[in-house]
Amino acid sequence: MPANLQQTIADIRSMKVRGAASIGIHAARALADHVQGLDGTPAQVLRQARVAARRLDAARPTAVTLHNCLGWVLAAVAAQASVPKQKKAARETARLVGMEVKASRAAIANHGAQHVPDGAVVLTHCHSSTALAVLAAAKRSGKSLEVIATETRPFRQGLITVKALRDEGISCALAVDSAVEHLLATRDIDLVLVGADTMTRDGVLINKIGTAGVAALAQLHEVPFYAAAGLHKFTRQMAADIPIEERAAGEVVAARDLARGARVLNPVFDRTPPGRIQACITEEGLASPRRAVQRNLARIVEEDAWG
Ligand code: RUB
């Protein structure tokens, strides 16, 4: 496998590159770079690009942004009748994918910020660049806010979140995941805001493990739960058809600390049903999960590009 492709796959698998949006942008760029080195007829180039895209796609199976961003590059390659045009189209599409994902985040930030009340206390889970963009936009618009970030075991993305919040000058606190119910019960939390790895055809949000539980507890305490999800997070697949990635036991506990013979379960995403989601924050504004799905699916690239 060419070095760049292999390196990108390794970086995604090891979580050096993580978070759905960032994974999608990196993978699209790696695929476009790979296409630059391909030879043969246009059909052969397309075939080799599809093989590379499938390898990249398998690096993290749950976040559909990866699949969509790769699909956009493949569709551009498939549409060209000469190899030089395929290479140019791959390069330009990867660049556009990067720009669109960033523009999507900015649009979501604008809409979302309007729904964060001045003085709000917000609970967030994991590290989502999109959820953070909403909070940063609210802060920049002059609102005061306080954010409680869950630690998000086992990878502890909450530490990235609090660092990013602090860099934005947003007052924040870190809490262990198991404190969520207590915090919802005892603090005046105005809303819960998370990102999205995938939004499925049946309106289900797939996001970092623990999200579904946080949403259930938010519903119990009548705290609105929002998911920031741009176009590239949507898929025609149903939630049950999206595999939930299981990662290594060593991310949870060192082997020496675990009783011999005990197993470790490490599913890293879960499924939040639409009934627990007040709204998705999309590029067009707020919408119910089902409405957001209806709007976005029409724009998602067809699977033909994958062959
Ligand atoms: C990250 C995660 C994030 C989404 C959205 O999981 O679940 O909430 O990817 O992020 P991991 P963004 O750390 O396992 O990749 O808004 O940046 O796309």
How do residues 198-248 score in pLDDT, each as one tens digit? Answer: 999 999 999 999 999 999 999 999 999 999 999 899 999 999 999 999 999
Of 71, 80, 65, give the one whose Cα is nearest residue 52: 71
Distance CA 214, CA 80 (A): 46
pLDDT score, position 301: 66
pLDDT at position 298? 77
Element containing residue 290 per DSSP (H, E): helix 289-297
Question: Is the separation of the CB atoms in 158 and 149 below 8 Å?
Answer: yes
Query: With a cut of 70, which residues of the chain have pLDDT below it?
Result: 1-3, 301-302
Q: Is the CB of 272 under 6 A from ligand 1?
A: no
Return d(Cα 225, Cα 121) in angstroms, integer: 13
- Residue 71 alpha carbon to ligand 1 centre in Å: 19
| Cis peptide bond N-terminal to 154, omega within 30 | yes
pLDDT above 70 covers what percent of the chain? 98
Q: What is the pLDDT of residue 300?
A: 76
Question: What is residue 304's predicted lDDT score, i.e. its pLDDT?
Answer: 82
CB of residue 18 inside a 6 A radius of ligand 1: yes
Q: Which residue has the tokens 């003085």?
A: 119
pLDDT value of residue 243:
96
| CA-based R_g, the chain, Å | 20
Other beta carbons within 10 Å of 257: 7
Amino acid identity of residue 227, one-letter, is A
d(CA 192, CA 102): 23
The DSSP secondary-structure symbol of 12 reads H
Phi, psi at 280, each rounded to 5°: -95, 140
Atom 1 of ligand 1: nearest residue by CA position? 19
11 is catalytic: no
The tens digit of pLDDT for each residue in 68-91 reads 999 999 999 999 999 999 999 999
Per-residue pLDDT, 168:
97
Kindly state if the Cβ of 197 falls inside 6 Å of ligand 1: yes
| Predicted pLDDT of residue 303 | 74
Provide DSSP, 167-234.
HTT-EEEEE-GGGHHHHHHHS---EEEE--SEE-TTS-EEEETTHHHHHHHHHHTT--EEEE--GGGB
Pocket of ligand 1 contains residue 208 by CB under 6 Å: yes
From 126, 190, 270, 280, active-site residue: 126
Q: Extract the tokens encoding 126.
A: 């994991």
